[in-house]
Amino acid sequence: MQLNDFFEPYKGDVKEVVIGPEGKTVKIGGEKTLPFHAFEGQVGTPVRFALEVFDAPPEGWPEHLRSSYADVLADPVAWANKCVKQFGADFICLNLASLDGENPDVKRIAENVKKIAEQITVPLVVMGIGDKDKDAKALVEIAKVCGGKNLLLGPLVKENYEEIAKAALEGGHGIIPQSPLDINLCKELNVKLTKFFPKEKMVIDPLSAAIGYGIDYSFSIMERVKQVAVIHNDEMMKAPMVANIGKDCWKTKEAKEDKTQGILWEAITAFTLVLSGANMVIMRHPESLKLVKKLIS
């Protein structure tokens, strides 16, 4: 008798989502068991990692973070290529920092996104600034200009999900619906979206927090989402999950004060949320990424 004779397969699974155009696609999700439970079922694709790039030079970064990208901060394409070729990122997450001002030129921003997408060798995730109106205008324009490039666009929230999702659907892109640390609100948004948007193009963001700053809430929500999908076979919760942790980790006083402490702060946050069920993690410091990849391998 073998150990797996004692296990009953779970009923549900997580959808496999393909990001990126032909020739540089990456898959996430596809598991039929809980994180690292290979003894119970199919584990799906490996956890994937993105490093952040900003379309305008970031402000307020401590020198021990800034120094990793000092030579490329003014050139998003060079920055992205450094993240891929030197630091081993599976994706690039482009933060639309240029939106954070009065009357941003969304057409220029969209053309810049297209340029970056065409000049990198991995898929591109595009993230707004969390302003529902500015994000909607920019992401809708980006979806049109970058048609066929299969970007992953976000965040979509309850106030703007419909217009962004419809533009993403027309442009052939994936989306990141975001809900505020509440599994019921997460499911509610998913239900609304799946009335017209395919589940196979969604990566959900239940929101994540840094270690010491509310990570217990993040962990419990993400863990429940994964359990509801895999164990209880809830069709509305079967999307892969993303943990976007760079901003929250590097705004902490601990990370700002000390390089080693900052790198560990982000690495431990990342690994904790991978244990909770994250299929994709967006990070900021390349040394943090290196540590987490080593730990998982």
Write the pLDDT tens digit of every residue in 212-240: 999 999 999 999 999 999 999 999 999 99
- Under the banding of pLDDT at 50, 70 and 90, the label for residue 8 is confident
Q: What is the mean pLDDT of residues 24-53?
A: 95
- Predicted local distance difference test score (pLDDT) of residue 6: 62
- Under the banding of pLDDT at 50, 70 and 90, the label for residue 4 is low
Domain boundaries, the chain: 3-296
DSSP string, 99-118: GSSSS--HHHHHHHHHHHHH
- Under the banding of pLDDT at 50, 70 and 90, the label for residue 242 is very high
- Which homologous superfamily does the CATH classification assign to the domain defined by 3-296? Dihydropteroate synthase-like (3.20.20.20)
What is the crossing angle of helices 132-145 and 106-119, to 10°? 50
pLDDT of 211 over the 90 cut:
yes
- Predicted local distance difference test score (pLDDT) of residue 7: 72
- Predicted local distance difference test score (pLDDT) of residue 65: 97
The pLDDT mean for the chain works out to: 96
- Predicted local distance difference test score (pLDDT) of residue 102: 87
- Proportion of the chain above pLDDT 90, given as a percent: 95
- Predicted local distance difference test score (pLDDT) of residue 2: 64
Q: State how far the Cα of 161 lies from the Cα of 87, in Å rounded to an integer.
A: 33
Contact yes or no for 168/160 (Cβ under 8 A): no
For residue 242, give every residue at least 6 positions away whose Cβ sits within 8 Å of its Cβ, in sequence order, or none. 176, 203, 204, 205, 278, 279, 280, 281, 282
Through-space distance between the first and last CA atoms of the chain, rounded to whole angstroms:
29
User: Structure pTM?
Assistant: 0.96
Write the pLDDT tens digit of every residue in 74-110: 999 999 999 999 999 999 999 999 999 888 999 999 9
